Amino acid sequence: QSALTQPPSASGSPGQSVTISCTGSSSDVGGYNFVSWYQQHPGKAPKLIIYEVNKRPSGVPNRFSGSKSGNTAYLLVSGLQAEDEADYYCNSHAGSNIWIFGGGTKLAVL
């Protein structure tokens, strides 16, 4: 049950777009459309922003979008805003009633 692989950090200027990757295997990310993404601000609980690869919960801005290709999932944050600065985590079902998180990516808005 190794963590999914995310880049430790990402950055962009306000208004720019940033993509965060989440790489797993055919046993998790590549095998299921059960990939989700979470935003976590310091000292706060995580918040769901994308589920089932590319679906947005009510209230999440459409600046956030998700996709998947093979064993890698992607989170695209468009039109970066200062409040987007946070940690982002991916998560995938991995079969046998097991779930796995990515190691997390710290997004800086420069």
Partner 1 sequence: EVQLAESGGGLVQSGGSLRLSCEAPGSSLSRNWIHWVRQPPGKGLMWVSRVRYDGTVTSYADSVRGRFTVSRDTAKNTVHLQMNNLRVDDTAVYYCARTDWFDLWGQGTLVIVSS
Residues of this chain that bind partner 1 (CB under 8 A): 1, 3, 34, 36, 38, 40, 45-48, 51-52, 57, 87, 89, 91, 93, 96-104
> DSSP per residue over 71-87, as a string?
TEEEEEE-S--GGG-EE
DSSP symbol at 62: T
In whole angstroms, how close is the CB of 13 to partner 1 at the nearest point?
26
In whole angstroms, how close is the CB of 63 to partner 1 at the nearest point?
19
Q: Which is nearer to partner 1, 15 or 27 (CB)?
A: 27
Neighbouring C-beta atoms of residue 9, cutoff 10 Å: 12
d(CA 50, CA 15): 20
Q: Which is nearer to partner 1, 3 or 14 (CB)?
A: 3
